[in-house]
Structure 1
C-alpha cells in the first residue's frame, strides 16, 4: 500500500461546524459569560480560542452568514481580563498574543466592568470585530472542541 492510501477522517458532533482540526458550536440562545463557559464545558468544550487569522475569518464568515433580521449580534469568545484589568487571558491558558488579536478600533476600551470579549457581527463589519463588554451581558456564544480523528 502506498502512503497516499491512508487518510485521516475527522468528524464533529451533530450541529457543530468543522474547520481544520476543530469543531465549533454557534449558539442560538443567549447567556452571560460565566453561564456560556459552563454550557461549553458541559458539552466537553470551551468558549472559542482564536489564535489564527484563518480561524478568525472562518468564524466571522459563518456568523455573518447566519445574521437574522437583526442588524448585529455578539458572540462570547473565551477571552477575559476578569482576574486583572488589561491582562487578557484565554480560557484554555493559550498565551494571549496581541498580534493575533482582532479588536475593533479603539477596543478593548477597558470600560467600567467590561471584562469579557465578544465577536461583534454586523452586516458591514470587518474581520477586526472583537469588543469588551460586561460579563453579565447576555449574548450568543461560540464553543470549540477538537475534532475527532480516526
Structure 2
C-alpha cells in the first residue's frame, strides 16, 4: 500500500511540474518511469494500474522526451539502463505494432543491426554504451527485466489551466 501511495505521489509531482512549466493538455506528454524492473507484460500491467500505458514513441520529439525523462532518473549512470516501450512483434514476427493503438511502428530509432528477431519480440530503449546502445531501440526477450516508461493516452487529457 505504501508503495502504491509513493507511485501516486511521484506521478502527481510530475503533473504539478508540468503545470508549473505552463504545459497544457494539448501540448503536454507526461512520462513516468517505474521504480522497479519487470518483464514486458508486467510493465504493461504496471502502467495500466496507474491509468497509463507503455509509451508509444512514434515521433522523434517523443523519443527525445522519453530520453529526457529517463535521464532525469540518473539510473543510466551505472552504464546500463533499459526501458520497455509499448510495441512488440508478438502477433506477427518482424511486424512491430504499438499495442495501445494498433498502429504499426513507422518511426524508429533502432540500433544498427536491430531488430535481430529470434526469441526477441518486445521493444525496448537501451542506454548501454559499452555495446553501442546510445538511447537506441532493441528487440529483447519479453521476460527481460527492465524499467517501464508509461504515458497518458493522447486522447485523454489531464485537466489543468
TM-score tier by shorter-chain length is 0.7 to 0.9
Aligned residues: 136
Q: d(CA) in 1 for partners of 2:34 and 2:46?
A: 10
What are the residue-to-residue correspondences of 1:1-150 with 2, within 5 Å? 13-16=11-14, 18=18, 20-68=27-75, 69-98=77-106, 100-110=107-117, 112-122=118-128, 126-127=134-135, 129-146=136-153, 147-150=157-160
Q: What RMSD in Å do the two structures reach over aligned CA positions?
A: 2.3
Q: Is the 8 A contact 1:46 1:91 kept in 2?
A: no
Greater fraction of residues in strand: 1
Q: Is the 8 A contact 2:126 2:134 kept in 1?
A: no
Q: d(CA) in 2 for partners of 1:95 and 1:41?
A: 19
C-alpha displacement at 1:65, in angstroms?
Answer: 4.0
Greater fraction of residues in helix: 2
C-alpha displacement at 1:64, in angstroms?
Answer: 2.9
Write out the 4+ residue segments of structure 1 that deviate beyond 6 Å after TM superposition.
none
Structure 2 unaligned spans of 5+: 1-9
* Structure of greater relative contact order (alpha carbons < 8 Å, 6+ residues apart): 1
| Structure ID, larger Rg | 1
Q: d(CA) in 2 for partners of 1:136 and 1:104?
A: 20
Structure 1 unaligned spans of 5+: 1-11
Q: d(CA) in 1 for partners of 2:33 and 2:13?
A: 9
Q: d(CA) in 2 for partners of 1:47 and 1:16?
A: 17
List per-residue Cα deviations over 1:14-61 (Å, max 9, x = no partner): 144657332211112000000110111111111000111111111113
Aligned in 2, Cα 1:106/1:125: closer, same or farther, shift over 3 Å?
closer
Q: Structure 1 length as normaliser, TM-score?
A: 0.79
Q: Structure 2 length as normaliser, TM-score?
A: 0.74
Q: Is the 8 A contact 1:32 1:137 kept in 2?
A: yes
